[in-house]
Structure 1
Amino acid sequence: MTLNELILKCKKQDSKAQEALYKQYSGILFAICLRYSPNKTEAEDNLQDAFITIFKKIEQYKAKGSFEGWIKRVTVNTVLQKYRKQKIYNIDDEERIEQEDEVTVETETVPLDFLLKIIQELPDRYRLVFTLYVLDDYSHKEIAEMLGISDGTSKSNLARARGILKNKIGNYNP
């Protein structure tokens, strides 16, 4: 079955097609959920929520652009919406840090699973901004719009995330 046929069947709420779509894309989307979630259990919950949203909104996919890109955006937006509802962005203006402290690390010396673990340990507001900016290449303006915060808050959260990560990587002992 082609991807277009699978999508058409999912639009008709065919459970076998939905299962096939889940099997085809769950690994890719789970990796995204892991980046935005503090732990594996929450990432699993976020993946399920994302697929529920995908199946509810699949009628909105109009085959303009890649389907994989569309479901990735739906997944990221589903996870971000959950965190927006938790109101994790209660930051006073005076707490903002305007300077970004670049972190340079020789990644060959730090295992990927350790990096993922310490990113997941970041406070929610820092982890989300760090992931959006560094891993998904969004601008501070885009992040601010997505999360309902100011550009300055986005920059501040990124700087704090980088500081925390730099400290943890500095203390890494294999």
Structure 2
Amino acid sequence: MSLEQLIYNCKRNDIKAQETLYRLYASKLFSVCLKYSRNYEEAQDNLQEGFLIIFEKIDQYSFKGSFDGWLKRIIVNYTLQQYRKENFLNIVDENFADDTADVNIEIDNENLSVDYLLKIIQELPDKYRMVFNLFAVDGYSHQEIAEMLKISVGTSKSNLSRARLILKEKIESGNGKTKSLS
């Protein structure tokens, strides 16, 4: 069955088609959830709830643009909505971003495990993790992040800078390095 036919069947509330769509995309979308969640269990919850929204809104998909991108946008928006409900995005001093904008993190890929990097990103405070992932991982601009999170551009920049500082400190502390096999 083609993707187009699968989507059409999902639009008709075909449970088998929905199950097939879930199996096709769950692992990819779970990795998105994991980036934006505090832990594995929260990511699982966000994935399940996100799929409910996908099935509810699949009629709105008009076959224009990437279906993968449409799915990802729903998952990201759902996850961000959960954090907005918790009012985690505080206003911060926008001048802080100017002072720390040049924070660079140099990572020696051979010495850090992916699990450690994911772990320290998940340990970031919510507001920093969201902005870091949206900007550094998913490539959104500060303007787009500000609109998505209903914060100012300066707050987005500041939260990114603070996230980078925290990550840099954790990486430099040497935690999570893998041992050399030589």
The separation in 2 between residues aligned to 1:23 and 1:104, in whole angstroms, is: 36
User: Percent of aligned positions with the same letter in both sequences?
Assistant: 56
- Which amino acid in structure 1 is aligned with residue 153 of structure 2? D
Instruction: Report what 1:108 is aligned to.
Output: 110
Q: 1:158 aligns with which of 140, 157, 160?
A: 160
**Which residue matches 1:97?**
97
Q: 2-side partners of 1:135 and 1:92: how far apart?
A: 22
Question: What letter is aligned with 2:65?
Answer: G
Q: 1:63 to 1:161 in 2, by over 3 A?
A: same
- Per-residue deviation, residues 37-79 of structure 1 (Å, max 9, x unmatched): 0100000000011101100100000000111111011111111
Superposition TM-score, scaled by structure 1 size:
0.96
Q: Give the C-alpha shift of residue 90 in structure 1.
A: 1.9
Where does 1:47-126 land on structure 2 (aligned, <5 Å)? 47-93=47-93, 96-98=96-98, 99-100=100-101, 101-126=103-128
Cα drift, residue 95 of structure 1: 7.2
Q: Distance in 1 between matches of 2:2 and 2:92?
A: 51
1:94 Cα deviation from its structure 2 partner: 6.2
The letter for the 2-side match of 1:5 is Q
Mean alpha-carbon deviation: is it higher for 98-107 or for 30-39? Answer: 98-107
Could you tell me whether the CA contact under 8 Å between 2:94 and 2:155 is conserved in 1? no
Could you tell me which amino acid in structure 2 is paired with residue 3 of structure 1?
A: L
1:39 aligns with 2:34: no
* Superposition TM-score, scaled by structure 2 size: 0.92
Moved more, 13-22 or 102-111: 102-111
Shift of the alpha carbon at 1:93?
3.6
After the TM superposition, which segments of 4 or more aligned residues of structure 1 sit over 3 Å from their partners?
92-96
Change (3 A) 1:170 1:65: same
Partner of 1:62, secondary structure, is: coil
Which ranges in structure 2 are unaligned for 5 or more consecutive residues? Answer: 178-182
User: Deviation of residue 109 (structure 1)?
Assistant: 1.2
User: What is the aligned partner in structure 1 of residue 14 from structure 2?
Assistant: 14
Cα 1:60–1:94 shift into 2, 3 Å: closer
Deviation sequence 1:7-32 (CA, Å, 0-9, x none): 01110111111000000000000000
- State the shift of 1:86 in Å: 1.0
Mark the runs of 5 or more structure 1 residues left unpaired by the alignment: none
